[in-house]
Structure 1
């Protein structure tokens, strides 16, 4: 089957998976449905995808890491940065060491370096999989931010450890001193290159916009190229392309605050990136399902060569690795929280002790996903001497099994654990938001007055502009008045704003339906209908 047909089939499978998840009466993680569809493809069509590790990694990893870094709230990231770093760095190293030794003990035929590579690749977590699992049982926002921050950083640390383990498997040697120096170069160089590429792109685009105007398509295309440019440049400089993509995304969230793009450009860019993120994650899991039968056959052959004729040992290995990952994570989370409470006590701070459900939910929420799969598929196909890479199919199957089983466990365990779960008190940002809205409304009123004087200067109908300006100004004054309520009245204000939002949405949808009805009756032209519907869509996006 040719490449174009394969791509179209994979994309269609991703679309079908999204529809199936919404149709099912019970909650099933989207990645599990996509894996099942991928496996079904092999039964009905000879897709026969050949995955080249380097190309696969380049296509999928940079954009996924970049958009995660771009969209995570920086304040939320730094609010719990200590706990996030402990999970993303300390837990990853501990996982690589203990789980790597466990895998080698379970499967002596698997070289120790390859066992460490498998442990490294199953150490990163995936918040997108958690979001899919908890779509019908909302996860507390602060816990979700912790999982997102952990995933953002342990993607990099886990895949860097994978790089070292793979190099050791290929060369047969490992030096802790050389690895430490290499890690520093990989980390510092990768982060610096990611920031530099984003800064250069943002600065150049800002200069172009100021002197020659903005072109939405060019701006969006530039953001799509940034992660690939940062990754490729870092790899050419023998730095970490993974960290370059992550730092490019995080720095993009800073640079975008002074990148004055038009509202329509930002809306289009958000839609494009949502589509790319959905498609890339979906294709990865569909490919996993498509490859799974062949991987399973190769893994069973590896097990037989190791002296185990019963393929059920593969299930035993996968369950043992998952239990070890959960136990390690549970112990690490408990120790981290205990140490945090100890430090707070030393500072004589009153901190509420988290419930056992929070500790257990944080542990089980460490679901493996797209990054784990993409990472394990980058294991080399052959050794330097031309022989096959040892136990590659078995390594891929173990990682795939960990992904699937971790999702299944989380699907059943997280909803009851998260039901009515309360986190320790979090400083409210409601007052901060209210003050920002008031300041923005006051700035709008000043701009209206300034523009009114410009429009009315030297004109005989100056009163017309004064009346229009007064009407628009009254709208902003109402906003200011409604948000200057005392703290005791704030819940009422929130209810009023929610009621207004619902009414406006109903009105906008009625407007759009009427315009489409007029178009179907051919009472208005297509161009006019498109223009009016687009205007309503933009307004609805604000209230949605």
Structure 2
């Protein structure tokens, strides 16, 4: 019963965090609000949450990594593969070595292996936090794609490095050759298992849906189970469950391109996954706030062991590590950019050199988030003997939490300042590509309507009705083709006409909804009919709002 109560309290705190974040006069990153709520809960109630690393890892990481792999834009991922790989692998190793050595020098009482584990766990970035901070200012689309791709891959590389460092801390030994061989096995096996599990499951569910019909609830539940299945199977075979979850998500995005799922399934599934992502990330940060008093007390004791009586040194440590992360990232981004320009010059290509603002934004956009927190909370409680506490565990968790908070604050201040004055070049390619696609699908729709019109009517009266309705639908698609092929002033007129039409349609839909609810309250229609009509209007409004 206590576990259920705790889960409900955490869920309620996540809900409240969304309300508080919107109600605040000053825009604060949602994770900061959630951490504060968790700390407030700890001050008024003792939930007694004991975070067991293996259970925490299993519950929180697979769905987050799976969803990142599923939703990341693949075109941007492959187009900027070199830049993404340099950031997600090269920068991670650079960070682990540089920050690990720096932390060990800063805090001699923290073993070197634990310092490397801390450095590895603070290396992954969180682009969702960046986009939330910079949602009111322009962000170069290509830069966001690079940051998203970096986050997807450095989640895996950073957490795998952390596992190696933890193993070294537990055993006291580390072999580079053995680690390299183990990494190859972990990576290859994890990717193969994640890909194989998703492919097999999607093939099976598609066959079942074609044969016996599709149930949206079952389809959604299967998508929720895939990351856990891939993760558990990979861990059982001593491969990387982290990479398996990422690979499963990427494979899922390609498997879904067949479009075999019903529209209702896709709409409902997207809503469910949005809720899962919001809830899981929110619970992670609320748990951090709830654990902060206990973690802080343990970290203060470690500080005293280093010879510093004043626990205020904890703040010094956090600020120093955060500064080191920003400095290393800035150096890496600058060197990586120079290397990219040099290679382009060797190939005879002319590349536009990004301004210093882009370099600064890329460096400061390395915000740490849920993956860092989830990873550091999985540090073992005890050594292999089962009795000796894992060295400096509370201090490592506290420092990681502090780095998350500082990175969020720095980014929330610096990014709007840098991006607010940034002049973005026009990006007409995507708009032209979208217009071309809309024209092509409209032509395909016209062909389908004509074909269906010829085969639809069984008698003369029915055939005439088909022809009349088909003419109305055909007019709609022919108008869409004319609109998408317009240019100059014509395109601006079309755009304004669409805005007006959208405004009027939204007003009409909202009026329809009000009338439906009035009819229901007066018992003129049944609850089932009202629910169906409101749901249809919701779909149409959602499409118009996202247009």
Q: Which TM-score applies when normalising by structure 2?
A: 0.97
Corresponding residue pairs, total: 544
Cα 1:341/1:529, change in 2 over 3 Å: same
How many angstroms does 1:411 deviate by? 1.1
- Once residues 461 and 476 of structure 2 are traced to their aligned partners in structure 1, the CA distance between those partners, rounded to angstroms, is 26
Displacement of 1:401 in angstroms is 0.6
| Residue in structure 2 matched with residue 335 of structure 1 by the alignment | 335
| d(CA) in 2 for partners of 1:466, 1:400 | 66
- Between the aligned partners of 2:128 and 2:393, the Cα distance in structure 1 is 27
Is the 2:121–2:375 contact (alpha carbons within 8 Å) kept by the matching residues of 1?
Answer: yes
The corresponding residue for 1:73 is 73
| Distance change >3 Å, CA 409–CA 359, structure 1 → 2 | same
| Residue 453 of structure 1, CA deviation | 2.5
Q: 2: CA distance between counterparts of 1:326 and 1:423?
A: 24
After the TM superposition, which of the residue ranges 316-325 and 303-312 deviates more from structure 2? 303-312
d(CA) in 1 for partners of 2:423 and 2:362? Answer: 13
In the superposition, relative to structure 1, how do residues 106 and 155 fare at CA in structure 2: closer, same or farther (>3 Å)? same
Question: Take 2:40 and 2:202, find their aligned partners in 1: how far apart are those partners?
Answer: 44
Taking the aligned partners of 1:361 and 1:460, their CA distance within structure 2 comes to 66
Deviates more, 1:476-485 or 1:92-101: 476-485
Distance 1:424 1:470 in 2: 42
What is the rounded CA distance, in whole Å, between the counterparts of 2:425 and 2:75 in structure 1?
17
* Secondary structure of residue in 2 paired with 1:315: helix
- Once the two structures are TM-superposed, the CA of residue 487 in structure 1 deviates from its matched residue by 6.0
- How big is the shift at 1:390? 0.6
Q: Give the structure 2 partner of residue 298 of structure 1.
A: 298
**Whole-Å separation in 2 of the counterparts to 1:349 and 1:492:** 38
Gaps of 5+ in 2: none
Question: 1:441, CA displacement in angstroms?
Answer: 1.1
Distance (Å, rounded) in 2 between the aligned partners of 1:461 and 1:264: 30
Q: What is the aligned partner in structure 2 of residue 143 from structure 1?
A: 143
CA distance in structure 1 between the aligned counterparts of 2:19 and 2:399, rounded to whole angstroms: 29
SS at match of 1:68: helix
Matches within 5 A, 1:413-492: 413-422=414-423, 428-486=429-487, 489-492=490-493
Structure 1 residues 514 and 214: CA distance shift in structure 2, 3 A:
same
CA RMSD in angstroms, aligned pairs only: 1.5
1:104-160 Cα deviation digits (max 9, x unpaired): 001111110000000000000011221222233343322221111110000000000
Does residue 508 of the first structure (1) align with residue 516 of the second (2)? Answer: no
Identify the residue that residue 406 of structure 1 maps to in structure 2.
Answer: 407
The separation in 1 between residues aligned to 2:436 and 2:426, in whole angstroms, is 22
- 2:60 match: 60
Cα distance in 2 between the residues matched to 1:540 and 1:382: 54
How far off its partner does 1:52 sit?
0.4
In the aligned structure 2, how far is the partner of 1:234 from the partner of 1:72? 22
Give, in whole Å, the separation in 2 of the partners of 1:426 and 1:337.
21
Which runs of 5 or more structure 1 residues have no equivalent in the other structure? none
Deviation (angstroms), 1:463: 1.2
Is the CA contact (8 Å cut-off) linking 1:352 and 1:424 kept in structure 2? no
**Any runs of at least 4 consecutive aligned residues in structure 1 with deviations exceeding 6 A, and if so which?**
none
Question: Structure 1 residue 518 and structure 2 residue 516: aligned?
Answer: no
Deviation at residue 425 of structure 1 after TM alignment: 6.7
Does the 8 A contact of 2:138 with 2:424 survive in 1? Answer: no
TM-score, with structure 1 as normaliser: 0.97
Within 2, Cα distance between the matches of 1:7 and 1:310?
36
Moved more, 212-221 or 280-289: 212-221
Describe the superposition over 1:79-116 as per-residue Cα deviations: whole angstroms up to 9, x where unpaired. Answer: 21111110100000000001000000011111100000
Q: 1:424 to 1:170 in 2, by over 3 A?
A: farther
- Closer, same or farther: CA 538–257 of 1 in aligned 2, 3 Å: same
422-431 vs 32-41, greater mean Cα deviation: 422-431
